[in-house]
Structures are given as structure tokens and as C-alpha cells.
Structure 1
Amino acid sequence: MSNFAAVRHDSLVRYLARHVTGEVRFDDTSRRLYATDASHYQIPPLGVVIPKTEEDVLVAVQIAADLSVPITARGGGTSLSGQSIGPGIVLDCSKYLNRVGEIDAANRTVRVQPGVVLDQLNRELAPHNLFFGPDVATASRATIGGMIGNNSAGSRSIRYGKTIDHVRSLSAILSDGTRTTFGPLTATEKQRKLERRDREGDIYRTVERVVTTNADEIDRRFPKIVRRVSGYNLADVKPNTLVPLIVGSEGTLAVVSSAELSLVPKPVHRGLLVPQFDSLRAALDALAVCLEFKPSAVELMDELLLNLARQQRSLKHAMGAIHGTPAAVLMVEFITDTASEAAALVEKLSAKLRGAKGLTVAVTANDPQLRDPLWNLRSAAVPLLYGMAGDGKPITFCEDTAVSPEKLPEFATRFREIFHKHGTDGTFYGHASVGCLHIRPVLNLHDPGDVVRMRAIMTDVTDLVLEFGGSLSGEHGDGLVRSEWNRKMFGDAIYDGFRDIKRAFDPTNVLNPGKVVNGPAMEENLRFTPGHTVAEPPTVFNYEKQGGFFRSIELCNGAGVCRKTQGGSMCPSYRATMDERDSTRGRANALRLALSAERGVRNAEVKTESFPPHAAIRASHSALEERWVADVMDLCLSCKACKAECPSNVDVAKLKAEWQQAYYRRRPRPVGHLMLKNIDWLSPLASQVAGPLNWFGRRSLIRRVMQWSTGFDRRRSLPEFHRQHFRRWFSKRSPLAARRSVVLLDDCFTTYQEPHIGRAAVEVLEKAGYSVQLANVCCGRAMISKGFLTAAQGLAERGIAKLIAAADAGVPILGLEPSCVLTLADEWPELVPGDAAKRVAASAFLIESWLANEIAEKKCELLVRAKTSKALFHGHCHQKALVGVGGTQAALKLVPDLAVTTLDAGCCGMAGAFGYEEEHYDLSVKIAGLQLLPALAADPAAAVIATGTSCRHQIRDLTGRHAVHPIELFTG
């Protein structure tokens, strides 16, 4: 690095830090995490600015302009085309600039900041019966700023159009750092703009010249279809506003600081018909009939997507409307004012389709219980496809074409012929209603031959799109993958007009360079070097199903489902910090980058020669042992929500345990870790001196000493031990003789800290007619949570040896603590691969779920008396992720006259030892305060039920309320 470059770099950082009130991050970790989005590209930036105010955005652009540093505005980082990464400053508005302004319900408008997430906006609009029309599949994390940059649409664009149709005005910052507003102008106002002798005047004059001079060519070259988002929107520019030009410009013309949006009435009733076909062509041939009835959406899903959904734990339930194994299905939706109207349209279309060629069945799915999960499955398509095991994936590069709907059947047939010509096939799904299908060939971009094949396929596809009068991008934009093809798609005259407009707006090429015009070759800047093999580190868990440790990491494509802030539990720490490094995606990226070589950018259009090389991130020697990886992994609660809620099944809890095993290979362990590792033999010792130990544990001074010596925060109450623990109680009683028996997993927490729950379980089981024997094994949950995997493996081996006889005899192994019994089902088979572990896993159940099933099958009877009339139920994260809360809900329904509300309140934040640790206590409390504590406070008179010991501890510490285990309701 030259001295001059270092001085310039230091000046940039210093200026930003001095004048930006938000966060200025030029550390290597931040640069790594912002080097990727949901595309298959990677460009490490110089640094990241996270503005707190709109003034921060202005200042950041001004400083970048003064120093000629590229700046890329980023939303949720969900771009599939690489729009949201760049080599200069990445501007992330999602953390702080997410305020929804005043809602004008009468005029159906609202002003928002660019970091507002679509689902967040629609939640705030719901009381006014309004919403923002474009409904992208990434609504849980896509920001309005990103949607404006991309001109996003969604499944219902046949009814609501694209973002361009709903933006009234924009507050923006030009590349020279000046503020301006783009919106409707009177003739006089426009004339004044044209007469200005500054950047803004140049813009208006250039746009008018380009649009006027090329009017005939624009009319000829821009497709006459709804879904068209390639290039700059010259065909949509109106005489009195440039808003349509800014929308869809991918941040290359201006940086949006706020937007005024038009709103539409919220749908009242929805009907859905799901016709299913024995071939893709048959489904597309039926499209014309569907469109006759003016639906609000017609979505297509093919066989590959449906088969992957069947294998995905959180999407299996979404398949209720799918009969058999169709080759393709359509989802035809109607939005109406009355339910009867919607039902009538569904029935009329069903009748019209009867006898259609290739139709196997048409299922009515008007019931939200059947309809909504299927719609969620369609929204999960991208990460679901990237969850395919192995290196071959349905790759995003030609997936975004759009043609007129009547041409779609023949177009798709010809498209598949191109795949076959190049020795592959792919998946077909998407917005059939507007002729925009996501068609992805299966390729392995680690293979240099497949990278060559990618370009060859794209060459043929662009020819096909031109032949059919379509658009190369109908939704995802140009970015790094399609910008180089814009000259071919639009012709020299239009492309030169694009370049003129870019120069007028951004003469120094600092705004998101290399997108829309002057783009690099589509093979440049790939996440991985083709032909380069990443060495697999030694592991303890088995990763055979995923094809290895590295491939299990690569299941994450960056779609960002983990950045949602409502519904489910993923990802607790991200919800609390809103920080990219604390997302599931951030952690997967950290592991991937640590194991793979970090590379630079080969983009001749980007000029940063006077700064240090933007790829100069230190290489890894002992990849998983580097401190920066620890910083990223630190706030993972190992809640396992990602294993279920990420459609790609990225199991970061498992990856974190493996990383910890490697990280501490040559490092001393904290005392707190060692205590957790040995909880199975420390707990019996503690119970021997339970009285004095509990007394000392309540003393403030002792807690301070504990914090200093073990790292357990003094503000956290310590668990209380019992001399008359569960195993001791059990050993002194006379067992019930019964024809049927069960094994009860006497976990360390129940046995020594909550023995009353174990006693309740025995009482209930015996009352139901079962004899009980104790497992007397430790599952190793605490060991696994801190990465003591070899020790946990030994425990699992011994546990399997003890329990295999019961499993083979058909005796169920019942657990009270979800994290423990589900360790048998989830981790043991991957710690000790083999049939024995699988048989034990198949015999392990949550006690209340198993009991509810036995009663439902009339294998036993249980008379229960209600102890309360109203209760709130909070499920343990591992339970929600691995088996769901349905079994517990079924059990609670057996309690007469008990009204139970199941909370969808995310994670409690305790996560075993996580909430005890000094460095994590505050975050633990913050996570609980996001949803769980408000939900409990809203109903202070209700009893509280929680399956997890950590959850009960957190609730007691933070609310003073005593939560009970479900089995306690069945006693007495």
C-alpha cells in the first residue's frame, strides 16, 4: 500500500467518523459481511456506513463525492443480481432509517424512510385498511429503498403493478452531494429545472434530449409487457416527473433518503384454486383460461420445487393442497369484496378447467389454513432451491425473463431446449400471470466448465428473449449479472442514451458503478474461484447429508429470511441488534469466508487506485480459530430456529458447536464453560449441600464473586438445587407394576433443580397406567452448546448403549426438558452415526405430546381437573424448531375449561447458559423484551405455561411470574 493511498484512506475514515452520527465501520469483519448479498457475487467494500439520520446519508454521499469513492446504497441485502454490493462505501439504511411517517388515509399516501421493511409498513397501515401494493416474496426483510432501487413487483403485479406505479415523490441526494426532490412538476416548474445551470439542470436537459431523440427506438425496443425492469425506465418517463427514471435505477442515479408512496385498499377476501398437472406444458397451456377470469395472481410451481418442500421440515405442512406428485401446479388467486364472490370465481374456473389436457386435480383452497401455508411455500422458493445438497444448484442468472403471457407456453418449451442443449435442466416457477417465470438451470459454479456453460446459456437465452419480444429481467434487475447484456437487449442507440443519462446524473461514476451500464462480465466477482477446492476441516458431527461441513455452510445463499423481525423465532439476536453480523446469514458468511480464499474485484469500471486495495483483507491461517469469526459467532443463542425457519435448513447451532470445538482447540476455556461441561456430575455434588449453596447463591456478595470467577452475571438469579432431588425421591418409592412401561429421561435440570416436575410426570404416567423407569443418562446438551463435541460424543455413545434395548422393545423414551430429549433425536444420530442412534432417536418424545397422542388413540385414559381457566403457552425454541408445539397444544386441550393462547413471541432470550453470561445478560433481557414480555404483560391474570427450564427461569427473573411445565396441569 502506498503512503498516499494510506493517507487518503485514513482521511476518508476520519471525515466520516467526524461528521456521521451513525456507525462507521471500516474493520475487516464488516467488510467481509457486506461483501455479499443474495446473489452469487462477492465484492469486499472499503467500509460500511450505517446512518442514523437522513443528514448522515447526505454527509456520506458528500464525502464520497469529494474523495471520488464509490458508494452503494443497500437495503436488506436480498438482491439476487448483485446490486447491493460494491467496492467503495456500502450505505446500510436498514438499522436506523426505518421510520414510517404520517399516514394520510384519506388520500392514501405515506412518507417512509428507505430502511422501512415492507411487512413493517403493511403492519402499520393495517389499522387503516391500506397496504403497499407490490408484494415481493422477500416482504419480511425487503426494504422500501431496495424495492425502489429495483422496481420490485411480486405475485400480484397483474393487479397492483410494480413499485414504479406506487411512488409519488422521492427525496434524493445527487452524486455531488446536493439534495433534491423528484416528483410531479407543473409546466412552469419543469421549465425552471431545464434552465438551471447546475447538476440538476443537466439531468433534466439530458433526459428530455435522450427521450425525445430516441422516441421511436424506445417504442420499438422496450417490450410492451407488465414485467420489464431492465435498463433505465425511459419508456415510463413522463413529461412532468422523473420519478419513473429513479425507480429501478439500482442506486446508480441518486441515493433515496425518503419516499412518498401511494397506497391501495387492503384485500378483503381471497379465494384460491390449485389446479395440478402432469406436465409443465399442460400447466402453462391452461394459463389462458385462468386469465379469462381476471385473477389477482397466477403462480406456477414445478416438480423440483414441490419435492424440495416435501423434504423441508417447516414446509411439509404447506403441502395440504397438493395431491400426489404433480409435475406442475398453478395457484390461481382471486381478490374480491365478499367471500361468496371469491368462492364463486374459484368454482367457475374449476368448472372451466375440467377436462383440460394434463389436469390431474383442481383443489379449492379458500380456507386460510390450507391457502396461506401454500403461499408461504411459494415465497420460500429461492432459499429452498439453494438448500439442495451438493454443489449443483438452480443458479440465478437467466431466471428473470418475462414475455407476454400468451407466448409463455412456447417460450418455456424453447427455454428448456436450451438447457438440454447445454447438458442440464432446471426449475420453472414464478409469476405466470404476467409471463415472468423464474427459470434456473442447475449448475455448479465451483466448476470452471459450468461457468463457461453459464455464459453460453445466457447467450442463447438473450437471443430467445429478443425473438419473443420479452425482457431479460422482469423482476430482479440488472446488477452484476445482466448489466453487460443491456447493449444487446436494447441496441446501441438506447444503450448510449442510458450512458448519457448516467453521466448526467453521475459524471464521476461514484453511485453504484458497474450496474445497468458499463457492467463487468457476468463471470467476474463470483463468490468462489471456479476450480478452487476448499479443504474440509476435521469435524465431530456427521455432515454426510449436506455433502460436508463447507457445503452445509453454503446452503445459505444470502436470501436473508433470518432478517425478519416478526413471526417465529429466527433470529433472536438479529431482532435485538438489527446488525448484519448477528444474523444467521452473517454467521454462515463468516464461516464460509474463513474457510475459503478471499479474493479481489476485477472490475475495470471501478477506480479506487488512490485507496488501499479493497480486497486487502488478511488471509486466514487457522481459519476457524481467528478472532473475527468468534466475534461474529458470539451472539448466536443456538436456538435452532434457523434449522426450521430457514428454507435452506442452515443449522447454525450445529455449525457453531463445531466451530467452538475448533476455536478452543488451542485456547484455554472459560471457567463457566468447564462448569457447563461437567454439569452432569457437578449437579449431584451441589445437591448434597443444597441448603447452604442456595443460601449463599442469594447473597449479593457471592453473586459478585461468581461473576468475577465464572462470568455468570450477578443480576441473574442462580438455579436452586434440592437435596431431595428427583432421582433420590424415585429410588425410595415403590414402583407401579403395569403392563406397559416407559423410560423417563431424568435430565440434569429437572432432576436437581426442578424435581417437582419429575415427580408430577411420574404421577401422571402411573395414573395413565404406565410403569416408569429412569433413563439415568446425560444427553450432553450443555456440552454441545459450548462445543465440547468429543466429550458429548462419548456421552451419546454410552447413552445409546443404555437405551437401545428399550428402543428396540418399543418402549418410548419420554423427556420433560425439550432441549434434552430433542438432543437424542437431533444431535445423537449426527454425533454417533449409525442405525442404533436412529432407533433411539425415533423412540424419543416430549412427554405431553406423547401422552396426548396415546389418549387420542385410546391407548390410555387420563382424567384431568382444571386448575386455572386461562393460560398463556410459550414453547421452547428447540421444540418449535424440531417438532413444533402442536403436540403440547393437543395435550393442553385435554384440560377441561382451560382457554390457552399459544404465544408467537419469538425466543425468551435465555438459551441455557447464554442468559447467565455477563457479556450476554443485557442482550438476553432485550430479546425477552421484544415480544415475550409484552405478550405476558398484556394478560397479567393468565397462568403461564412454558416447556423449557430456561424459559421458565427467564420469565421468573424478569416478570416475577411462576411458569409451570405442561405436565403439572395433569396432576392432582
Structure 2
Amino acid sequence: MRTELDWSEYQDRGMGDAYADIPRQGGDFAKAVAVCIRSGVCEQHGRGVMCPSFRITDNPLLSPGGRVQLLKRALNSDEAALTSDQELAEAMDLCVACKGCKRECENNVDMAQIKIEYLAQKLKTESLSWRSRLFAYSPLWLNQYPVLGSLIRWRNKSALLAKAGEKFLGIAAKVPLPETARKPFSPRESSFPPLVAHPSGEARAVVLWLDSFSTLFAPQQAEDALYLLRMTGLTVHVIHPNSQPGTVLDSGRSLLTFGLATETRELAKQLLAVLSPYVAQGLSVVGLEPSSLLMLRDEYKTLGLGQPAVALAKQAMLFEEFIAAELTRGGFCLPFQTGKITQPVLIHGHCHQKAIGAMKSVRRVLKTVPGLEFSFIESSCCGMAGTFGLEAEHVDYSHQMAQQSLVPALQAAPDALVVCNGFGCAHQIKVTAGRQTLHLATLLRQALAE
């Protein structure tokens, strides 16, 4: 079996352990599967993220441990079994790649990464569906052909078009698609000077890397993040999808979600070529969208991109992580106004934020705003999970995930502001609870003194 991702970090896992139960086929990929010890911790309800599909079905095969058993069965059979086993296909189909198991499982089973390899293997014998191709390439196409944004708006306004989309493509008619902004974030300048002197008195800089979701769909949060970083005394180098004429600088998250490893690798090389000179200078690369920024820190290391990817991973940070680090260094000092925000604030964390422990950074940053009343929603995956919540056969599962704890928490606090950094999470909250959300950067800017 020729794997599409690099699983070499697992090469020594289970070796010499008679009870490791490593499958006969799959090499290091099989060892990554076999780290599961079937403790059953993934088959529980209550606190934490893991496992959204098990929580709504109580089906053990829809837990990470259940998927591991099906994967082992396939890898112990003939090579074709991995992609032909229908029971495995159904179990993997309902994995929302939340990465909860990577954090909460005792042995850190990375089912999200395993699913990518599984889908990449399927693409060797099956072609990508039209719907999957549309979703996978949408960030690239929307950047290249902005007029496509008008088609999304027409579809959302027309019940007939929505029904046709469900009939012919399998896109859920009852869920509106996210609409692009009429004026995406695409500044002509590439560097912005600080608006105030840095507290240290030094000339310091940072890279603000803006993904396609932030620039196309939520340009205000990009503007707010840029302003805040400049207000902390930093020179900000901005890299966005249209920074390089003739190409789209994108993380490749949407492509990799559907198993398109080769295409993702080519996009990653382009982005690495642009970011590596800044990384070589020791600058942090800061991003706003968890699923995209964490591609640079996690998935890029599995794509065989060598030392540049390893170096970037060490300096790639979420916005809240960077601000929290600046607080430690004494470099974050903004003129917040006491009582500027009078409403209570509810924070919903993206699953990938939770998987890396970034919610601690969110808490620390919010504590710097005097008089701010905030609390965190205790929930599993919101259910949007990339495009999962837009797919006709998955939409009911998606809404069940949202209704488990997220929607009830929002309904219990109708007057609260809702902070949510994840693009998909924000859309799910709008669809299932009818609430608008703010990115952390936008909330912080609103808290500034006039």
C-alpha cells in the first residue's frame, strides 16, 4: 500500500508489543490506526468534543474506536478491502474530522488524519463527485472568478435553484450557502506600519496570513485583526490569497478535506515559498481561521514538504495564541474602555481550537478587557464540519449535533454577544439558532476606547 501522507512519526509505535495488534497491511499508516487501545473513552457523553457522531447515534462503530476496528479488519484483508468495505465507508463518512480524539483519547488517535488518507486511497479507484469537486475547489474558484459569488446569492434567494442543487448535486436545499462579501479583503499594500510605538521601544513585525474564508466571507474580521496588531506597535506584513498575481495563495484545507493530497501539496508549496522568507527572519505567522491556520502547523508536516514546513509549523499561531504570547512578553497594551461592551459574551470554540488547547489563550485575552462578562459554551462539534452540514444526506445529523448543547446554550442567553472564530461554526450558528457571531478580533476592536 502506497500512502499519500507521511506516517513516519509512527514507525516505532507498537514495535515489539505483542498486544499492539498492528494490521498486516498499511505500514506506518497501520501503526497509526493501531495506537487505539479500545478503552471506550470515545464512547461517552458529557464534557469534551469526542465523538460527535457517536453522541447523536450511540452506535459504537461511529466512535474512533469503532472505526479503528473496521479499519483493522480491512487492513488485515486484501488491499482492495480498505476502499471497498461498505460498513467502513459508512463509518468514515460520518466522521466530522473534529480532532477531538487527537486531544482527548489517551493514545491520541488522529482519526481526522486517518480519514484524509482513507479518502486519498479511495480516489485511486473512484472519481470525485461533482459536489465534492465543487466544495473542494470553491475557495480557489471564488478567488479567481468573483462573479461566482452572485450565483450563491441567487441560489439562496430561489427555492427552485436550491431544490435543483439538492436533486442534481446533493447540496441540502433547506440550508443557505455562505455568501461571499461584496467587497472581499484584498489590500494593495503588503506591509502596514505600526500605529503606535511598541511598548518595548523596539521595531517589531509580524505576518498576518489571511485565508480564503476570512478574506472572501468575513473581510471585517481581517480589517479588525490588522488594526489591532498595528495598535500594539507592530509592523504587519499581510499575505492573502491574491498577494501573488496569477495564483491563489490558499492553505488547501478544502482540497485535503476530500482527500486531494497531491493538489494540496502543490498549493502548500506555493504558500511556503511566500511565507518562508518571513519565517527565516523569525517572524510569527498569525492566522484567524482555525482550520486553515492549523493546516500550516499540522497537516503540512504530513505532505512531505521537508524542512520549510517544519520551520513554518513552529512559527504559525492563531490570533489568540499570538496575543496571549504578547501578553507574556509585555507587548500587548491596548486602550480598552471599561464597560464599553455591556452585553454578556458567549464563546463557542472551533473543534480544532479545542484540540490544540487554544481556548486557554482566548480566556487570557478576554480577561484583559475590563468589565467584560464572558463564559464558554461547553459543547461538542457544532455539526457544520467543513461542508458536512451543507450535504443533503448529512444535514439532519449536522443539526442533531448542534442541538445537543450548542443551540440550547444560545437559546438560554438570547441577549448575549456570540464570539466564534470558526467560519463554519459561525454559519452553523446562523442556520440553527438565527444568531450572528463576532470574531475575537472584532470583539476586541469594539472594546477599544473611542
TM-score, reference length from structure 2: 0.88
Match of 2:222 in 1: 758
Structure 2 Cα separation of the partners of residues 580 and 907 of structure 1: 18
Alignment of 1:714-725 (within 5 A): 714-725=173-184
Instruction: Give SS of 1:778's match.
Output: coil
Letter in 1 for 2:43: R
Structure 2 Cα separation of the partners of residues 686 and 709 of structure 1: 23
Match of 2:352 in 1: 878
Structure 2 Cα separation of the partners of residues 837 and 685 of structure 1: 26
Match of 2:103 in 1: 644
Letter in 2 for 1:536: G
- Aligned match of 2:126 in 658, 667, 674? 667
Alignment check: 8 A CA contact 1:387 1:555 kept: no
Alignment of 1:523-922 (within 5 A): 534-536=24-26, 548-597=28-77, 620=78, 622-628=80-86, 629-685=88-144, 687-688=146-147, 690-691=149-150, 693-727=152-186, 730-731=187-188, 735-736=192-193, 739-776=203-240, 777-865=249-337, 866-922=340-396
Structure 1 pair 734–918 and aligned structure 2 pair: CA distance change class (3 A):
same
Structure 1 pair 884–732 and aligned structure 2 pair: CA distance change class (3 A):
closer
- Superposed displacement of residue 692, structure 1: 5.8
Instruction: Give SS of 1:642's match.
Output: helix
Structure 1 pair 743–849 and aligned structure 2 pair: CA distance change class (3 A):
same
Q: Percent identity?
A: 32
The higher radius of gyration belongs to: 1
Structure number with the higher strand fraction is 1
Alignment check: 8 A CA contact 2:142 2:148 kept: no
Give CA deviations for 1:753-785 in whole Å, capped at 9, x if unaligned.
111111111111111222222223311111121
Letter in 1 for 2:40: G
Structure 1 Cα separation of the partners of residues 100 and 14 of structure 2: 23
Structure 1 Cα separation of the partners of residues 440 and 215 of structure 2: 17
Structure 2 Cα separation of the partners of residues 942 and 742 of structure 1: 33
- Superposed displacement of residue 621, structure 1: 5.0
- Superposed displacement of residue 913, structure 1: 0.6
Alignment check: 8 A CA contact 2:228 2:445 kept: yes
Structure 1 pair 845–551 and aligned structure 2 pair: CA distance change class (3 A):
same
Alignment check: 8 A CA contact 1:687 1:752 kept: no
Alignment check: 8 A CA contact 2:194 2:232 kept: no
Alignment of 1:130-279 (within 5 A): none
Give CA deviations for 1:499-535 in whole Å, capped at 9, x if unaligned.
xxxxxxxxxxxxxxxxxxxxxxxxxxxx67xxxx713
- Is 1:391–2:19 an aligned residue pair? no
Alignment check: 8 A CA contact 1:388 1:555 kept: no
- Superposed displacement of residue 654, structure 1: 0.4
Structure 2 Cα separation of the partners of residues 722 and 856 of structure 1: 36
Q: CA RMSD in A?
A: 2.2
Instruction: Give SS of 1:804's match.
Output: helix
Letter in 2 for 1:389: R
Instruction: Give SS of 1:771's match.
Output: strand
Structure 1 pair 692–918 and aligned structure 2 pair: CA distance change class (3 A):
closer
Structure 1 Cα separation of the partners of residues 363 and 304 of structure 2: 32
- Superposed displacement of residue 677, structure 1: 2.4
- Superposed displacement of residue 849, structure 1: 2.3
Alignment check: 8 A CA contact 2:298 2:313 kept: yes
Structure 1 pair 839–733 and aligned structure 2 pair: CA distance change class (3 A):
closer
- Superposed displacement of residue 695, structure 1: 3.6
Structure 1 pair 690–677 and aligned structure 2 pair: CA distance change class (3 A):
closer
Letter in 1 for 2:15: D
Runs of 5+ unmatched residues, structure 1: 1-385, 394-443, 447-526, 538-547, 598-619
- Aligned match of 2:426 in 952, 958, 962? 952
Structure 2 Cα separation of the partners of residues 796 and 928 of structure 1: 32
Letter in 1 for 2:147: Q
Match of 2:3 in 1: none
Letter in 1 for 2:263: A
Instruction: Give SS of 1:731's match.
Output: coil
Runs of 5+ unmatched residues, structure 2: 1-9, 196-202, 241-248
Structure 2 Cα separation of the partners of residues 827 and 693 of structure 1: 29
The structure, 1 or 2, with the larger RCO (C-alpha pairs under 8 Å, 6+ apart) is 2
Alignment check: 8 A CA contact 2:180 2:217 kept: yes
Match of 1:932 in 2: 406
Alignment check: 8 A CA contact 1:868 1:943 kept: no
- Superposed displacement of residue 884, structure 1: 3.1
Structure 2 Cα separation of the partners of residues 699 and 635 of structure 1: 29
Alignment check: 8 A CA contact 1:869 1:897 kept: no
Instruction: Give SS of 2:226's match.
Output: helix
Alignment check: 8 A CA contact 1:687 1:725 kept: no
Of the structure 1 ranges 626-635 and 906-915, higher mean CA displacement relative to structure 2 is found in: 626-635
Structure 2 Cα separation of the partners of residues 860 and 937 of structure 1: 34
Letter in 1 for 2:24: V
Letter in 2 for 1:900: F
- Superposed displacement of residue 737, structure 1: 5.5
Structure 2 Cα separation of the partners of residues 925 and 693 of structure 1: 22
Alignment check: 8 A CA contact 2:25 2:79 kept: no
TM-score, reference length from structure 1: 0.42
Alignment check: 8 A CA contact 2:213 2:423 kept: yes
Match of 1:966 in 2: 440
Alignment check: 8 A CA contact 2:140 2:250 kept: no
Letter in 2 for 1:587: R
Structure 2 Cα separation of the partners of residues 710 and 770 of structure 1: 46
Match of 1:153 in 2: none
Letter in 1 for 2:81: A
- Superposed displacement of residue 888, structure 1: 1.0
Give CA deviations for 1:521-577 in whole Å, capped at 9, x if unaligned.
xxxxxx67xxxx71327xxxxxxxxxx100111111211111011111000010001
Give CA deviations for 1:340-377 in whole Å, capped at 9, x if unaligned.
xxxxxxxxxxxxxxxxxxxxxxxxxxxxxxxxxxxxxx
Structure 2 Cα separation of the partners of residues 645 and 882 of structure 1: 10
Name the count of aligned residue pairs.
419
Structure 2 Cα separation of the partners of residues 734 and 584 of structure 1: 44
Structure 2 Cα separation of the partners of residues 853 and 952 of structure 1: 26
Structure 1 Cα separation of the partners of residues 404 and 191 of structure 2: 47
Letter in 2 for 1:752: L
Runs of 4+ in 1 over 3 A off after TM superposition: 688-693, 732-735
Structure 2 Cα separation of the partners of residues 591 and 734 of structure 1: 48
- Superposed displacement of residue 631, structure 1: 1.4
- Superposed displacement of residue 682, structure 1: 1.1
Alignment of 1:468-507 (within 5 A): none
Match of 2:244 in 1: none
Alignment of 1:380-459 (within 5 A): 389-393=13-17, 444-445=18-19
Alignment check: 8 A CA contact 1:946 1:963 kept: yes
